Amino acid sequence: MTYNSFKNNFLKYALVLLLLTSSCTNIGEDPLALRVGAEPSAKMRNDNGIEHYKAGRNFDALLQFNQANMADPTSGEIHFNLGLALWKENKKRKGAKHFKQARKLAKGNPSILESPFINKVLKGD
C-alpha cells in the first residue's frame, strides 16, 4: 500500500467515523425531574436515569427510566425521559410512543406540551 492510498483510506474511514458520531442524535432536550410528591422509588430511579443520561450512559439510563416507569406508569415526565433515551438509541418508533404517552399524561407540564422536539417528532398526531 502506498502512502497516498493509505492516506485516502484513512481519510475515508475518518469521514465515516465523523458522520457516524455526528449522526448520534443531538436532541436538544434534557430529561425531566419528577414533580414534588412523586412516588419515592420512581423519583429515585428517574433521578438515577437522568444522571446516567447526562453522563452518556444511555443503556443505564434506559434501565433506570424503565424501572421508574414500572413504579409510576402515570408520569408524563418518565415517559418523556424514556422517549429521549430510546430516540438516542435509534429506537424512534418506541420513543415516539413514549412521547405520545408523555403528552397524554403531561398534567399541564409545559416542558412536555411545548417541547419543540416532541412537537417535531409528533407533528400531525
The pLDDT tens digits for 22-66 are: 334 568 899 999 999 999 999 999 999 999 999 999 999 999 999
Asked if residue 114 belongs to a domain, the reply is: yes
99 in a structural domain: yes
pLDDT band at 116 (very low <50, low <70, confident <90, very high): very high
Range of the domain at 72: 33-121
Q: Which of 105, 101, 99, 100 is nearest to 34 (CA)?
A: 105
Percent residues over pLDDT 70 in the chain? 82
Q: What CATH number is given to the structural domain containing 100?
A: 1.25.40.10
The model carries a pTM of 0.79
What is the predicted pLDDT for the residue at 10?
66
Cβ distance 1 to 45 under 8 Å?
Answer: no
